[in-house]
Amino acid sequence: MRGSVNEAQAPLRVKYKDSPDSSMVLDHAIASSGDHSDPFHSRVEPMDGCGVVIPVGVHQAVGGPHDAPTPGDILCAALAACQDSSVRMVANLLGIELSFLEVRVTAEVDVRGTLGLSKDVPVGFQSIRCEVNLKAKEGTNPELLKKLSAASEYCCVVQQTLKNPPRVQTQFNF
């Protein structure tokens, strides 16, 4: 679907202003495994009924074969996809014509925490870098490009969630 972000968002802005409760969205994913005896492989469906199932593997750094994207790879992909769409949507709103856009995300983790080898090493990524490489139509005002970077970083839901993490609850049902 090509078109104007402003046209697509205008009725939503009115709706959400008039009825703030209608702005709440619930995203979800389900992970499962066909072979419950395999500790190294599963799959995740990022949206019920979408028909997309992503194979998930375990990183070699923690003993897995690393023959499929790991949860860390999928986290990086989520940030890259969100930042990419944020840049494209904000560029559209600002009237900036992009001729190239690539978002590369890298995350670094010290797996000693995960393996329980050191209580001084936290479990989780220690750093995440998001690099946005873009080219705009020749003659684009540099101030407009500054607005693009600030606004697209600000409205990237995944990036803002990583910077300001919400409370996460886990419930085990036996």
Q: Write out pLDDT tens, residues 39-49.
A: 999 999 999 88
Confidence of residue 35 (pLDDT cuts 50, 70, 90): confident
In the chain, the percentage of residues whose pLDDT exceeds 70 is 99
Would the pLDDT of 33 be above 90? Answer: no
User: In 3-state terms, what secondary structure has residue 163?
Assistant: helix
**pLDDT, average across residues 4-32:** 95
Pair 105, 125: CB distance under 8 Å:
no
Amino acid 34: pLDDT: 78
CATH topology of domain 70-165: GMP Synthetase; Chain A, domain 3 (3.30.300)
**pLDDT, average across residues 119-145:** 96
**pLDDT, average across residues 47-68:** 94
Confidence (pTM): 0.93
Cα–Cα distance measured from residue 45 to residue 131, given in angstroms and rounded to the nearest whole number: 27
